Amino acid sequence: MKIRFLFLLPLLVSLVPTAPSLAAGDRFALVIGNAKYPDADAPLKEPLNDARDIADELKRDGFSVEIGENLTGDGMRRAFDKLYGKIKPGSVALVFFSGFGIQSARQSYMLPVDAQIWTESDVRRDGFSLETVLGELNTRGAGVKIALIDASRRNPFERRFRSFSAGLTPVIAPNGTLVMYSAALASVVSDAGGEHSLFVQELLKEIRVPDLMAEETLNRTKMGVTRASRGEQVPWISSSLAEDFSFIPGAAGSRPTTTTTAPPPAPPVVANNPPPAPPTPPSPPAPPAPSKPADTAAAPAPPPAPAPAPSPKPQVEAALPPPPPPAKPADPAPAPNADGGPSAAALAEDPTIKGLTAKLAANPDDVNALYRRGQVYASKGAYNLAIKDFDDTLRINSKDVEALNNRCWTRTVVGDLQGALKDCNEALRLRPNFVDALDSRGLVNLKSGAVKNAIADFDAALRINPRLTSSLYGRGLAKQRNGSAQEGALDIANAKAMDPNIVQEFASYGVR
């Protein structure tokens, strides 16, 4: 539909700063509740109450809070700019958004109340990309970045797209990030019309529990929502926190350590590279990079007894008397993939993978589910499984440039440089100046030693997006290998200033 409407309804817009707590320190929060969307049949009943109560709770927890209600695009832009201006190296930055959200081009967008959306390009024009917000907070130096997004609602905009896709999509976030959606990926829930959404009811309950790390708080929230909805609403969580953090100040020191193992470093901040996946139970030993280290705790030594059969991984057991001779040995752990990453069996219980696999069981040609599962596999180091899903995505649609770019990137990581170059070239043939494919092809050329071609690709990517850290750092390495040591060092220094984790990320992909 090409018809456009002018909205004549007056919009209530306010941005109300709350007084910062004396204990706020370097904790900053932006809380937005958007309820009055002219395109909706009626105002949403939950977002304003939810935003106000979340703001009050965060203020009690030592955050300096800005709260915005029914913000237009200009209002949201000013609110985010104000938040960015407060961030100092090591700050904690939190964003809470309640309203309508939408996914487009595999990114999640928060919508202002005056969004005028009839095509997917309008989403990118009027919406606010969660990935962009988190990337900017990271660039400003925020050590901990938290996004709590209650926007998995059926909205009046999605039905206008032929490529309709409900709900939100995985977010590609920098290290030190904790993200929670109120519902599972690509799913929506109804606005119950009460004082608070179920998500916020459970979140407020768990934030107030002392001695909990933030990841535990959100996991308990997820379990509470799932129980209360009888499994119809299951929030989604993604974490790459590398340090303990608690909503209640001082809780981190109240017990020895957190029980959560930090996930692997996130891929370079490129819009279509595979995203981090939700926290899962420990998996079999992962490859040295980029997957996270496997658990190494060993069992206490049992009394002298005949040595049991070797086990593929260390077992964690209580000290018990030796079993009788005929006892059956423990079942071996699922064998790893040929690429050294975890197997499909080892990842089968991951919540996101399990949900996507169920969708594919119902419809093997669900191209969105194939693509997303490939992203999650890649983020967990199961690269061959990721490549297979991208293969199937491209079997269904050979012109899917995002899938071509992701397969190019994944093939580069495993060392299939010829196949990777072919994929990137095809993506760029289909979409000239596709910045993500230029960045990926630069990595291919860098790994293969074609440094002049790498510099050309990174140059082209940076002309389109001068803040693309992965291209800036890659160009620095390529310039150094091409003999321009001083110019290369400058690029590398600038990239590290924008993202201190960029060196570790490139090292995890085999580039130093």
DSSP letters spanning 337-356: PTTSSPPHHHHTT-HHHHHH
Buried-exposed string 206-217: b where 16+ CB fall within 10 A, e elsewhere: bbeeeebbbbbb
Q: What is the mean pLDDT of residues 17-24?
A: 38
| Domain spans of the chain, in order of start | 14-254, 344-508
What's the pLDDT at 164?
42
pLDDT bracket for residue 203 (50, 70, 90): very high
Work out the percent of the chain whose per-residue pLDDT is above 90. Answer: 43
Tokens at residue 204, please?
């407020």
Q: What is the mean pLDDT of residues 85-96?
A: 95
- With beta carbons less than 8 A apart as the criterion, state whether 138 and 156 touch: no
Of residues 353 and 491, more confidently modeled: 491
- With beta carbons less than 8 A apart as the criterion, state whether 279 and 239 touch: yes
pLDDT bracket for residue 305 (50, 70, 90): very low
What are the start-end ranges of the H helices in 272-416? 344-347, 351-362, 367-379, 383-396, 401-414
- With beta carbons less than 8 A apart as the criterion, state whether 367 and 186 touch: no
Rounded to the nearest angstrom, the gap between the alpha carbon of residue 32 and the centroid of all alpha carbons in its chain is 20
CA dihedral (392, 398, 401, 402) in degrees, to 10, reads -10
**Parallel, antiparallel, or unpaired: how do β-strands 92-98 and 144-150 relate?**
parallel
pLDDT bracket for residue 192 (50, 70, 90): low
- With beta carbons less than 8 A apart as the criterion, state whether 111 and 99 touch: yes
What's the pLDDT at 82?
96
Q: What is the mean pLDDT of residues 208-221?
A: 92
Report DSSP letters for 176-197, one per residue: SEEEEESS-TT--B----SSS-
What's the pLDDT at 190?
67
Q: What is the mean pLDDT of residues 38-42?
A: 77
Q: What is the mean pLDDT of residues 197-211?
A: 91
Verify cis geometry, omega within 30 degrees of 0, for the bond prior to 290. yes
Work out the percent of the chain whose per-residue pLDDT is above 70. Answer: 73
Q: What is the mean pLDDT of residues 302-317?
A: 40
Question: Lowest-pLDDT range, 204-208, 245-249, 352-356?
Answer: 352-356
Q: How far apart are CA 188 and CA 257, in angstroms?
A: 35
pTM of the shown model: 0.49
Bridge partner list, 14: 69
What's the pLDDT at 481?
95
pLDDT bracket for residue 17 (50, 70, 90): very low
Q: What is the mean pLDDT of the chain?
A: 77
Q: What is the mean pLDDT of residues 463-477?
A: 86
Does pLDDT of 474 surpass 50? yes
Does pLDDT of 83 surpass 60? yes
Kindly tell me the number of DSSP H helices and DSSP E strands found in the chain. 17, 10
What is the maximal distance between C-alpha atoms in the chain? 83
Rounded to the nearest angstrom, the gap between the alpha carbon of residue 28 and the centroid of all alpha carbons in its chain is 20
- With beta carbons less than 8 A apart as the criterion, state whether 53 and 79 touch: no
Question: Among the ranges 120-129, 316-325, 453-462, which has the highest mean pLDDT value?
Answer: 453-462
Does pLDDT of 173 surpass 50? yes
- With beta carbons less than 8 A apart as the criterion, state whether 236 and 278 touch: yes
Architecture of the structural domain at 344-508: Alpha Horseshoe (1.25)
CATH no., domain 14-254 = 3.40.50.1460
Q: What is the mean pLDDT of residues 116-142?
A: 87
Rounded to the nearest angstrom, the gap between the alpha carbon of residue 348 and the centroid of all alpha carbons in its chain is 20
Q: How far apart are CA 171 and CA 411, in angstroms?
A: 21
What's the pLDDT at 317?
32
